[in-house]
Amino acid sequence: MSVSKTEAKDNCSAPEPGGRRDFQSARLLIMAAGASAIVAILFYFWEMEPAPRSMRRWGELFLFMGAVVFTMAAAIFLRDWFVAARKEIRKLRATARDFLFLFSLSLILFVAAKGVSTFLAVTPGFGRLTDPRIYACLIPLSALAMVVRVLISFETAIMFTVAASVLSTAAVSGRWPELLFLLLSGTAGACVARRITDRYKVLRAGTLTVPVSAITAGALEYAFSGGGQTLQACVIGAVNGILAGPVALAVMPVAELVFGYTSDIRLTELGSANHPLLSRLMKEAPGTFHHSLIVGALSEAGAHAIGANAAVCRVAALYHDIGKAGKPQYYSENQAGTENLHDALSPGLSRTVILSHVKEGVKMVREAGFGDRVAEIIEQHHGTSILYCFLDKAKPMIQDRKASEEMFRYPGPCPKTKEAAIVMIADATEATVRSMRSPSSQEVKEAVTGIINRAYLDGQLNECEMTLRDLSILGESIGRVLIAIAHRRVDYPASGSGLADEET
Ligand SMILES: [Fe+2]
Ligand SMILES: [Fe+2]
Distance 16 CA to ligand 1 centre (A): 20
Residues 323 and 367: beta-carbon distance below 8 Å: no
Distance 224 CA to ligand 1 centre (A): 61
Report the alpha-carbon distance of residue 167 to residue 108 in Å, rounded. 11
From its phi and psi, is residue 29 left (phi > 0), alpha (psi between -120 and 50) or beta? alpha
**Domains, the chain, ordered by start:** 37-261 (no CATH), 265-488 (1.10.3210)
Distance 249 CA to ligand 1 centre (A): 35
Looking at the CA of 423, name the nearest ligand.
Answer: 2
Looking at the CA of 323, name the nearest ligand.
Answer: 1
Distance 452 CA to ligand 2 centre (A): 16
Residues 252 and 147: beta-carbon distance below 8 Å: yes
Helix axes 154-171, 56-88, angle to 10 degrees: 160
Report the alpha-carbon distance of residue 118 to residue 452 in Å, rounded. 60
Under-50 pLDDT residues of the chain: 1-7, 14-18, 48-52, 496-498, 501-504
Residues 460 and 12: beta-carbon distance below 8 Å: yes
Looking at the CA of 379, name the nearest ligand.
Answer: 1
Report the alpha-carbon distance of residue 397 to residue 228 in Å, rounded. 89
Report the alpha-carbon distance of residue 215 to residue 238 in Å, rounded. 8
Looking at the CA of 294, name the nearest ligand.
Answer: 2
DSSP structural state of residue 320: T
Looking at the CA of 358, name the nearest ligand.
Answer: 1
Distance 445 CA to ligand 1 centre (A): 22
Distance 102 CA to ligand 1 centre (A): 34
Q: Please, which residues bridge with residue 409 across strands?
A: 386
Distance 427 CA to ligand 1 centre (A): 7
Distance 443 CA to ligand 1 centre (A): 23
| Model confidence pLDDT, tens digit, residues 440-471 | 889 999 999 999 999 999 899 998 889 999 99
Distance 435 CA to ligand 2 centre (A): 13
Residues 282 and 321: beta-carbon distance below 8 Å: no
Residues 282 and 289: beta-carbon distance below 8 Å: yes
Distance 347 CA to ligand 1 centre (A): 18
Looking at the CA of 290, name the nearest ligand.
Answer: 2
What are the backbone angles phi and psi of residue 36, rounded to the nearest 5°?
-60, -40
Residues 28 and 100: beta-carbon distance below 8 Å: yes
The CA angle 476-482-487, to the nearest 5 degrees, is 125
Distance 358 CA to ligand 1 centre (A): 6
Distance 363 CA to ligand 2 centre (A): 17
Alpha-carbon 304 to chain mean position = 17
Distance 390 CA to ligand 2 centre (A): 17
Distance 357 CA to ligand 1 centre (A): 7
Distance 321 CA to ligand 1 centre (A): 5
Distance 326 CA to ligand 2 centre (A): 15
Report the alpha-carbon distance of residue 391 to residue 182 in Å, rounded. 60
Q: Which amino acid, residue 259?
A: F
Distance 491 CA to ligand 2 centre (A): 30
Distance 342 CA to ligand 2 centre (A): 18
Distance 463 CA to ligand 1 centre (A): 19
Distance 292 CA to ligand 2 centre (A): 6
| Model confidence pLDDT, tens digit, residues 251-299 | 999 998 888 888 888 888 888 888 899 999 999 999 999 999 999 999 9
Closest CA to 450 of 423, 478, 469, 491: 478
Distance 155 CA to ligand 2 centre (A): 33
Distance 287 CA to ligand 1 centre (A): 13
Distance 264 CA to ligand 2 centre (A): 22
Distance 441 CA to ligand 1 centre (A): 25
pTM: 0.73
